[in-house]
Amino acid sequence: QEFLEGCERSDKGKVLRAIAALTENSNFESAVKTIETALMYDAFDTDSLMNLHRRIHGGVRELPPLSLGDKLPRLTPVNPNLDAYDAGLTRRGGVSQC
């Protein structure tokens, strides 16, 4: 009920059909878990529902963030000479070529 209240009036039929499809494809408990997650994200459209369901129940493994530590080399900052770019992009007479 709470989920449907957050939906646009014109989208309620589509959302109900999506919920029915989720229930058919997996089971009612999985559909309910998907809707609970959608409520946490304030995602009330059918595309978000389907994507959340695939992410939660599709067997996609959540990977932890990578820690690179000190393995990346220290790069020196690049300070471009923008006046040189401006001069290259300007024709004689001060008219820009862009």
**Lowest mean pLDDT segment, chosen from 31-35, 45-49, 50-54, 62-66:** 62-66
Between helices 28-41 and 46-57, what is the axis angle to 10°?
120
Predicted local distance difference test score (pLDDT) of residue 97: 56
Q: Answer yes or no: is pLDDT of 19 > 70.
A: yes
Amino acid identity, position 54: R
Q: Stretch 27-42: mean pLDDT, rounded? A: 84
Q: Answer yes or no: is pLDDT of 96 > 70.
A: no
Predicted local distance difference test score (pLDDT) of residue 40: 83
Averaged pLDDT score across all residues of the chain? 78
Neighbours of 45 (CB within 10 A): 15
- When pLDDT is cut at 50, 70 and 90, the band that residue 92 belongs to is low
Q: What is the pTM of this model?
A: 0.48
Q: Does an H or E element contain 42, and which?
A: none
- When pLDDT is cut at 50, 70 and 90, the band that residue 33 belongs to is confident
